[in-house]
Amino acid sequence: MSESNKMSGANRAILIAAFVLLAAAVGYAVWRDSVRSTIPPAVEGGAAPSDQLAELEARTKREPDSAEAWTALGAAHFDLGDFGGAAAAYEKAVALSPESAGLWSALGEARVMGSNSDPMPAAALEAFNKAIALDAKDPRARYFLAVKKDIGGDHKGAIEDWFSLLADTPQGAPWEADLRRTIEQVGQIHKIDVTTRLANTQARPLTANEMPVAARAIPGPSRADMEAASQLPKGQQDAMIEGMVSGLEAKLKANPADVDRWIMLMRSRMTLGETAKAAQALKDGIAANPAAAGRLKAQAQLLGVPGA
């Protein structure tokens, strides 16, 4: 009997919904309600998805050796539900950047989502195993490998792995709530009591490198500022946000050694859904501050910046 037949369609649907939520929260599969995050500045705005894809495809032709270009194309295909196209692009990306655990796990996810029969194709499992070999802490690969256990009938083992992932999850990480929900749902499906353990399990404290910059030393907007901004029309809000981000970029041009501002720029881009620009900010920040590469990458991973 194939593994795909070992669980009901309803259970599979619940699992799919759960890990789609998690992967989206982790940020590697990026904001699925829009492809704006992967669009170069020249084509942002009112372009149709087909035009956006055409520009991204044109970029890969101009820059065939750019893992970032292929990653952006893969993310755009994934956002549009074209998982086969996403997998093909991610395959190009990992060939160019084979040491990126995040790219391997993104490829694995695309292969899972593109499979109509097997909930964990062998090619997807291979990609997740490569991600884990590169980074044993890769959260998405760990998550999907636990899904593999659950599909294979080892429900308790899967739940144990998810609890282990939860224990390694930094406080406030964007995937924490969805991971807890997955544990709860799978426990309910298979009549495994996880309620007390979930209630008693706390995410680990943030390390210094993981502590969000805005919470550590850089002042943010006051409550009054936020309330005032919320009353503005959407167009004015967008203009305000763009002005703030442009101001950050201008300050970084004047002082590229300001590591905190690079982190703030990544955070701003991720908040706007501009993940390709966030990835570029990480790249530029490391180029300007090679001694701070570890800190920049740690912050980028917390924010869910692709390729961090």
Q: How many CA atoms, within 13 angstroms, populate the side-chain half-sphere of residue 31?
A: 18
Distance CA(210)–CA(36), nearest Å, equals 27
Same domain, yes or no: 113 and 236: no
| Residue 170 bridge partners (DSSP) | 204
Overall number of domains in the chain: 2
Determine the Cα–Cα distance for residues 107 and 141; give it in Å rounded to an integer: 10
Cα(104)–Cα(102) distance, integer angstroms? 5
144 and 231 within one domain: no
* Domain of residue 266, CATH code: 1.25.40
Is 134 within 8 Å of 100 (Cβ atoms)? yes
pLDDT at 164: 94
Give the span between the Cα atoms of 83 and 110, in whole angstroms: 5
- Does the predicted TM-score (pTM) go above 0.85? no
**194 and 227 in one domain?**
no
Kind and range of the H or E run holding 141:
helix 139-151
Nearest-5° Cα angle at 128, 110 to 304 = 70
Identify the domain boundary among 178, 200, 222: 200
d(CA 69, CA 197): 43
Looking at the structure, tell me whether residues 114 and 185 fall in a common domain.
yes
Q: 272: domain range?
A: 213-303
pLDDT tens digit at each of 308 positions of the chain: 333 333 344 333 333 444 443 443 333 222 232 223 333 433 344 445 667 788 889 999 999 998 888 988 888 888 788 999 999 999 999 999 899 888 899 899 999 989 888 889 999 999 999 999 999 988 889 999 999 999 899 999 999 999 999 988 877 676 787 888 889 989 999 999 999 999 998 777 766 555 554 334 333 444 444 445 555 566 665 666 677 778 778 889 888 988 878 988 888 787 677 788 888 999 999 999 998 888 888 888 777 788 77
Tell whether 87 and 158 lie within a shared domain: yes
Q: Based on the domain organization, do 107 and 233 belong to the same domain?
A: no
**Is 75 in the same domain as 144?**
yes
Q: Do 140 and 232 share a domain, yes or no?
A: no
107 and 132 in a single domain? The answer is yes
Q: Which of 188, 208, 222, 211 is nearest to 267 (CA)?
A: 211
